[in-house]
Chain A
């Protein structure tokens, strides 16, 4: 494995981390807001807020890590993506800002405030959609070089079926991941009513997820034949992903082993996400930018990797402590303890 692949793999892992825990987070915010408006908050709010509260800031750091890391390892991305993404990423920042701050406002300052809950619930759902546009753009065909400057063709972007398949996938997957996780979490908290409702949501959102994912592969055949071909060579990964998906749905359907079901779901997304990533190789942006021609100098690469290893030594025990205190702490999950400042 060369250092370029090592760099992109590290970043891809963190992006995956963001997508997974971000999805749980954003979906939970949405279900919470939805329950306030349908009068089901009595069932859902407790279990959702119990999970959400201590982790939201950590979620955001995964994203920061990814975009700071990509500029560090692949500085040329700043030029190509920085210039073209001004509008889409600015929208994402605005959604993220409202999501993060109004979440904190509601949780710490104004518990149960409907307006705040709605603000962060809705922006949280739109955020994955707006961030997913970046993946769409990376497929190429939407950026042209005019006078040496990359320019984004908005008309082409927003009339492409590929764009909308990815948007649908991002929203459906967010709700699917989140509801499957919360089903398990609610079950762990012995909250039967919440478990049942969340289980229903998980089953509802499973199928749009898989259909949109299939649709994307289909769209790619027309949009980016090069990538489509590459995807085919990774077919076992996508097949495993599909089998794991069926396993999750089966277990949730049968109301059995929600923990295992969620593990299978994580497996499903690991295989799909890394299969997609591997097939994207070596391009960061079709057809202009590969991980090789955008890579930083050797000295910086080595420095970043050393910093990364030292950072991990600090982070892994800390993350473990966080999970042990909240996610795997029975008393906390059940809501028998409240130690908020």
Chain B
């Protein structure tokens, strides 16, 4: 049993599962904040209720996010002890700061959840949400800095296996950091927005025609559009980062074999014996993506030795990520313009099903993006410093742990879905609006 292979599989499994909940954990607080803010500003009880119901569902996903985050935090040391020993010396600072961000979020989430209607002034309650959203987003920032460091390590010298001249701040502000952080945080907002839009559209398709869901849909798709545009813009900058600092990753993702000027971008296609077939070639597009100029030279895989090239299947992951991202951006743009121009088809059943499909699709895109980022760094765990195989544990028990954790994630995944369904089916929004009306003596339309 090869511990390296199984350590990779287990890490991939944990991260793939964790990232679903973590992304919701980063993005949904912003959505709750927006809804509550709009509700207070417009004095519209529907938006407040939206915030309240999202918050209720959010707690369930946060719980799974927290425990799986704890799992990956520990697994990093359990599965990659040699890597963590080195990383602990150089990049421990953002990891440590992440725990503070997380602490901050946890404290205020507890307070926020248990103080609904406790204050006379609703704005006070709203203020409690700001540290939750900040803490969640900064957790993502700090943890992504660690990942960025793995791609572009700096801030230390390695002389005969000895670490010297460690500078934690230089390590943190590495070249990969700006684009990676912006992309991760932006897509977390985007993902959460499309997830919540999908739920609202689904409710509208399944019988409810309440204006509550329409308001939800309008708000979420607007946010979804804004952050899908940001994701695309940052994606372009990421291309320029990669061309400069990790050309082998870009070349592998784009199947760019020969170093050349005027490089075309290859979309889709299959690789058959080293031959690209059925692909769409967009002339000059890769030169633009990499350097912002039609004629720029883009380094190809021919510049690297065989053992330093990442697996070429990351091209498919890139295609999946980009295709879904662009589709969702266009879908939300059409919806937005359509609502404004009163095009009736954006409120048709077919279009709503499209929005529903956006829910699972945006998560596929998220996973594809992370797999591309991680597989694209191979064979390195710390680029040009430590190979993945050198970082792994030597323990022979990893396969057994893999089975146990797979079962755990199954239990948590199924459990969270069952509980969320049960919560919202037993307490439909129509009923809650009536209940609150009675409580307050009928000031809700």
Interface residues of A (CB under 8 A from B): 53-55, 57-58, 60-61, 63-65, 67-69, 71-76, 78-79, 81-87, 89-90, 93-94, 96-105, 108-110, 149, 296-297, 299-300, 303-304, 307-308, 311, 314-315, 318-319, 321-322, 325-326, 332, 337, 339-341
Contact = CB atoms under 8 A, between A and B. Distances in A.
B397 A104 contact: no
Contact of B102 (A61, A76, A82): A61
Given A60-B70, A340-B113, A87 B401 contact: yes
B438 to A, nearest CB: 17
Contact of B114 (A57, A304, A326): A326
B205 interface: no
Contacts of B88: 71-72, 74-75, 78, 296
A300 B90 contact: yes
B104 A57 contact: no
A244 B113 CA distance: 37
Contact of A300 (B69, B168, B415, B422): B168
Contacts of A78: 77, 81, 84-85, 88
Contact of A83 (B73, B166, B395, B405): B395
Interface stretch (B115-123, B226-234, B272-280): B115-123
B100 A311 contact: yes
Interface in B2-59: 52, 55-56, 59
B354 to A, nearest CB: 30
Contact of B96 (A85, A96, A308, A314): A308
A69 to B, nearest CB: 6
A213 B174 CA distance: 49
B295 interface: no
29 contacts: A53-B114, A57-B109, A60-B67, A64-B70, A68-B95, A69-B96, A71-B77, A71-B88, A83-B395, A86-B79, A86-B397, A94-B404, A96-B71, A97-B70, A98-B412, A101-B67, A104-B59, A110-B423, A296-B89, A300-B166, A304-B96, A322-B107, A325-B111, A325-B114, A326-B110, A326-B111, A337-B118, A339-B114, A341-B116
A299 B81 CA distance: 22
Given A90-B405, A97-B70, 12 more contacts: A54-B114, A72-B93, A75-B84, A83-B395, A86-B393, A110-B423, A300-B93, A303-B93, A308-B96, A315-B104, A339-B114, A341-B112
Interface in B384-423: 393-395, 397-398, 400-401, 404-405, 408, 411-412, 415-416, 419-420, 422-423
Given A82-B84, A94-B408, A109 B422 contact: yes
Contacts of B111: 54, 321-322, 325-326
Interface in B66-103: 66-71, 73-75, 77-82, 84-90, 92-93, 95-100, 102-103
Instruction: Across the A-B interface, give the 5 residue pairs with the lowest CB-CB distance, nearest first.
Output: A75-B88, A82-B81, A104-B63, A72-B92, A109-B419
Nearest to A93: B71
A6 to B, nearest CB: 15
A41 B191 CA distance: 41
A108 B423 contact: yes
A299 B116 contact: no
Given A69-B96, A339-B118, A93 B70 contact: yes
Nearest to B118: A339
A197 to B, nearest CB: 25
A339 B115 contact: yes
Contacts of B102: 61, 64
Contacts of A58: 103, 106-107, 110
Given A75-B86, A304-B92, A318 B167 contact: no
A101 B64 contact: yes
A79 B85 contact: yes
Contacts of B108: 318
A63 B104 CA distance: 15
Contacts of A79: 81-82, 84-85
B63 A71 contact: no
Contacts of A103: 63
Interface centre among B84, B99, B117 (most CB of A within 10 A): B99
Contact of B97 (A61, A93, A311): A311
B404 A300 contact: no
Contact of B104 (A104, A109, A314, A341): A314
B142 to A, nearest CB: 10
B402 to A, nearest CB: 10
B99 A61 contact: yes
Which interface residue of A54, A65, A101, A300 has the most chain B CB atoms within 10 A?
A101
B336 to A, nearest CB: 29
A65 B99 contact: yes
Main secondary structure of the interface of A (DSSP, over half): helix
B62 to A, nearest CB: 7
B60 interface: yes
B169 interface: yes
A69 B175 CA distance: 26
Contacts of A326: 110-111, 114
Given A82-B81, A341-B55, A61 B86 contact: no
B113 A341 contact: yes
Contacts of A54: 110-111, 113-114
Contacts of B86: 75
A276 to B, nearest CB: 23
A340 B423 CA distance: 14
Given A54-B114, A304-B96, A307-B93, A86 B168 contact: no
Contact of A57 (B66, B74, B116, B393): B66
A71 B103 contact: no
Contacts of B68: 97
Contact of A325 (B115, B166, B169): B115
Contact of A149 (B112, B394, B419): B394
Contacts of A73: 92
A15 B80 CA distance: 23
Contact of B78 (A85, A105, A339): A85
A72 B87 CA distance: 9
A61 B98 CA distance: 10
B393 A105 contact: no
Contacts of B66: 57, 60, 100
Contact of A101 (B84, B85, B107, B415): B415
B33 to A, nearest CB: 14
Given A68-B96, A82-B77, A108-B423, A90 B404 contact: yes
B321 to A, nearest CB: 28
A177 B27 CA distance: 38
A314 B86 CA distance: 29
B24 to A, nearest CB: 14
A297 B87 CA distance: 12
Interface in B274-298: none
